[in-house]
Amino acid sequence: MTDELDLESLRIGGLPIIQPFLGCLRVRVFLDELLGTPDARLKLPLVDSAMLLVRNFTLSRHPLYGVPEWARQFDPGRLELLPDQILLINDDRLGRTLDKLFLADRRTLVTRFIIHMVEEFGIDLKRLHNDSTSITFAGEYRERVARQDGRGRRRIVHGHNKDHRPDLKQLVWSLTITDDGAVPVHYNVYDGNTNDDTTHREIWNSLVKIVNSPKFIYVADCKLCSRDKMAHICGNGGHFITVLPRTRKEDERFKEWILHNPVDWQLIWDRPHLRRKHSPPEHFEAVEDPAMSSEGYRIIWYRSSEKWKRDERWRDDLIQAARQDLHRLGERAGKRKLKTREQVQAAADEILDQTATRLWVKVRVESHAQETYKQKGPGRPGKDTRYTRIVKTIYRPVVTLDAEAIKASATADGIFPLITDLPAEQMSPLEILSIYKYQPFVEKRHEQLKTAARVVPVNFKTPERIEAYLFLYFIAVTVHALIERQVREAMKARGLTSIPLYPEERKCRAPTADKILGLFGSLRHHRLFENGRSIKTFWDPLNDVQRMVLELLEIPTSSYGQ
C-alpha cells in the first residue's frame, strides 16, 4: 500500500448464517420488550448490547472485557451497530445490560420466545426429553445478603457435581429438548445443591404452558420415578417414560424371579453398530414385567447384546482388580500394620468395598508359620556357628470366588427396565425404547454447552449477572440447535450422508453448529481506499464446501459478496 492507498479488512465470519435465525426468532424484538422503554441517556441502547452478547456467545464466546476487541474486527453493519457505536462498547456497559436483564421477567419471555420458535420452524412437541448438569465455578462465591428489592437469586454452593469436581461450587442447569432436532424448548437454573427430585413437577408444568396441552410424552432419568411426580403427570393427562431405579423393590423382585424362571425374551430390534460398521448389529430383546409397579404402571424389561458384553466385562474387570489388590496385600502380610488377623481382615474388607466385589469375591484369613533362623552370638558365621529357630505366625488372605453369586449376577447382564403409563395397545416396547434412546441427545447438548459454546469459565462475581448470562446463553444454544436441524434435514432431503467438514476434508455425518460456523470463521470483507475514498470492494472467495453448506441453509452466496 502507498500513502494514497489504504486497505480495510473486516471479518464477516458466521454472522450471515446466524442473522436469518435471529431474525426469524425475533430475538431483538423480544429483548427490546424485555428491557423496557429505551433510556435516552444511554449512548448505546441496552438491546444493542444484549444482541451483541448473543452474537458473541453464538459465534465465539469471550469474557466481557474481550467483547469490545472482538466486535471491532467486524463490519459494524453486520452487528446492527453504527461505526461510532463500536467505540462505545466496553465491559461496564455490557455488565449493566446483564444487571438489567436480571431484573426483567425472563421466564415469561422464554415461554413466549419458545412458542414463537415452535410456530415459526414447525417443531414437533409430542416428545420432550429433560436432563440436568452442573455448571462449575472456580471461586469462593460467598453467601450474600438478601437483595433490598426482595428478588431471589440462585445460590452458588457445593452439590453433587456432575463434572466430578466436588471441590468446586456450582449451579444446576436443567434443559429440555424435543426429539425433533434436539431443539431446546425449556431451561432453568437452580441452586447448586438442588436435587433433580424436586424439579420435575415445576418443569412439566412449564412445558404444559409451552405446548398448550398436557398431551405429550415427558422423558427423564430415574429421578422422575417417584410416586408423587408420576401421579402428577398422569393425573393431569400427561404421559411419561423413565428408568426404574435399582433401589426399587420391583427391580429386586424381577431379578430374583429370572433366577428360577425362564424368560420369554422377544427380539424387537436389530440395530446396526453405532461405531463399527463391520461389527455385528446390536440386538434388543424385551419382555413385559408379569407384575405392574406398586403404583400400577407398566414396566418393560429390555436386554441389549452390547450392554450384556459391557456388564460381563465390567464385572470381570472388577474381580480381577480385587484379586490383584488382595495378592499384593498377601505379599505385605506380616509387615507394619498387617501383623494380626484383624488387621489383615480389615485391609481385605477395604479392598472389597473399594472394588465393589464383596458379592462375588470371598476372603478368609489363614495363619501360616514362618520359620527364620538367627545366629547365636556375635562374629562372622562359620561351620561351628549355632542358630536359634524363630517361628512367626503370618496371616494371609485366601481368595475364593462365589460361583453361584457370579452366575446369579450374570442372569441380569444386559438388562434395564423402563416404566411408563402408556398402555401396551397404544405403545409397543419397541416404540417406547426408540423414544427413550433419544435421551442421550440432551447430554450431547450439555456437552456442547461446556465445550463448543464454552459456558465455562464464568467471568462474573455476582449471581445476578450469571443468571442473565445463562439466559442469553440459552438463546445462543437454541440458535445452534436450529442451524444443526436445518442442515441435517436438508442433507436427508437431498440424500447426502455426510459433508467434508473435518480437517483434510474428512466426512462428517452429523454436522454440528460449531463445525458449520467454524467453516466460515476466517472470511473477511475488504475495502480499498484512495485518499479516503472507497475505490474497490471485494470478499474472500467461498470454497465448494462453504457453498454447499450455504445451499443447505438456504442462505444466498450474496451474503458473502459472491
Beta bridge partners of 239: 217
Rounded distance between C-alpha atoms, residue 135 and residue 117, angstroms: 26
Nine-digit cell string for 266: 422377544
The Cβ-side half-sphere exposure at 347, using a 13 Å CA radius, reads 25
Asked if the peptide bond before residue 457 counts as cis, ω within 30 degrees of 0, the response is yes
Closest Cα to residue 477, out of 439, 508, 521, 447?
447
What does each of the 562 residues of the chain score in pLDDT, given as a tens digit?
456 788 889 899 999 999 999 999 999 999 999 988 777 778 889 999 999 999 999 998 888 899 999 999 998 888 999 888 999 999 999 999 999 999 998 989 999 999 999 999 999 999 999 999 999 888 788 777 777 666 778 888 888 888 888 888 899 999 999 999 999 999 999 998 888 888 999 999 999 999 999 999 999 999 999 999 999 999 999 999 999 999 999 999 999 999 888 899 999 998 887 667 777 888 999 999 988 899 999 999 999 999 999 999 999 999 999 999 999 999 888 888 888 989 999 999 999 999 999 999 999 999 888 777 788 888 888 888 888 887 788 899 999 999 999 999 999 999 999 999 999 999 999 999 999 999 999 999 998 888 877 888 888 888 889 999 999 999 999 999 999 999 999 999 999 999 999 888 889 999 999 999 999 999 999 988 888 788 888 899 999 999 999 999 999 999 998 8
- Which helix (H) or strand (E) segment holds residue 397: the answer is strand 387-401
Nine-digit cell string for 328: 499384593
Rounded distance between C-alpha atoms, residue 400 and residue 386, angstroms: 42
| pLDDT for residue 70 | 93
Q: Are strands 506-508 and 184-190 parallel, antiparallel or unpaired?
A: unpaired
34 close to 104: Cβ distance less than 8 angstroms: yes
Exposure string for 168-185, b = 16+ CB within 10 A, e = fewer: bbbbbbbbbbbbbbbbbb
| pLDDT for residue 469 | 92
| pLDDT for residue 148 | 66
Supply the DSSP string of 189-249, one letter for each residue: EE-TT--GGGTHHHHHHHHHHHHTSS-SEEE--GGG-SHHHHHHHHHTT-EEEEEPPTTSH
Could you tell me where the DSSP H helices lie in 283-391? 305-332, 341-355
Rounded distance between C-alpha atoms, residue 132 and residue 443, angstroms: 8
Closest Cα to residue 469, out of 133, 100, 136, 25?
100
Rounded distance between C-alpha atoms, residue 419 and residue 242, angstroms: 6
Closest Cα to residue 527, out of 101, 63, 5, 3?
5
- Which helix (H) or strand (E) segment holds residue 528: the answer is strand 524-530
> What pTM was computed for the model?
0.88
Closest Cα to residue 210, out of 187, 242, 233?
187
Please tell me the total number of residues recorded for the chain in this structure. Answer: 562
Rounded distance between C-alpha atoms, residue 39 and residue 53, angstroms: 19
Beta bridge partners of 243: 418
| pLDDT for residue 534 | 81
Q: Which residues have a Cβ under 8 Å from the Cβ of 343 and sit 6 or more positions away?
A: 337, 395
| pLDDT for residue 355 | 93
Nine-digit cell string for 112: 413466549
Rounded distance between C-alpha atoms, residue 562 and residue 540, angstroms: 9
